[in-house]
């Protein structure tokens, strides 16, 4: 496998974060896990992951704020972000996509759906 792609998972629920991480590792990705969004921002800036899985409902800063911040930053604006959230109302999805999400998946997310979403956004990147 050529240069390993990095997935950053920003998810406050450790079980969910570990499940997503395992799904990504099985597919050969390097995984970075963050359990809150505020400290994730400098790490995103430093690491420039290939793709980010982002939960919206976080204990500190909303995932949407992280997403909006990234979309304003020249060095981060092109990183694909897949929102993975329990918020599944059409209005929630619309807000997520308007904030700049590459894709919006609702929990619970199956292995195949997550894998396909990551592959899809990486192809576009």
pLDDT in tens, 2-17: 589 999 999 999 999 9
SS3 22: helix
pTM value is 0.95
Here the tokens at position 65 are 């704020």
Quick: pLDDT tens for 17-45: 999 999 999 999 999 999 999 999 999 99
- Where are the alpha helices (H) located in the chain, listed in sequence order? 14-26, 40-47, 63-72, 90-99, 111-124
Q: How confident is the model at residue 1 (pLDDT cuts 50, 70, 90)?
A: very low
- CA–CA gap between residue 89 and residue 66 (Å, rounded): 20
- CA–CA gap between residue 91 and residue 97 (Å, rounded): 10
CATH superfamily assigned to domain 6-120: Response regulator (3.40.50.2300)
């Amino acid at each position: 496998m050529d240069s390993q792609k990095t997935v950053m998972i920003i998810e406050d629920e450790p079980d969910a974060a570990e499940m997503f991480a395992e799904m990504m590792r099985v597919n050969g990705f390097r995984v970075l896990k963050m359990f809150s969004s505020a400290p994730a921002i400098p790490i995103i800036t430093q690491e420039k992951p290939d793709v980010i899985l982002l939960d919206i409902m976080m204990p500190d800063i909303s995932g949407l704020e992280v997403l909006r911040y990234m979309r304003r930053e020249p060095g981060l604006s092109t990183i694909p972000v897949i929102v993975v959230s329990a918020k599944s109302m059409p209005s929630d999805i619309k807000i997520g996509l308007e904030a700049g999400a590459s894709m919006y998946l609702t929990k619970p997310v199956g292995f195949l759906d997550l894998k396909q979403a990551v592959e899809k956004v990486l192809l576009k990147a």
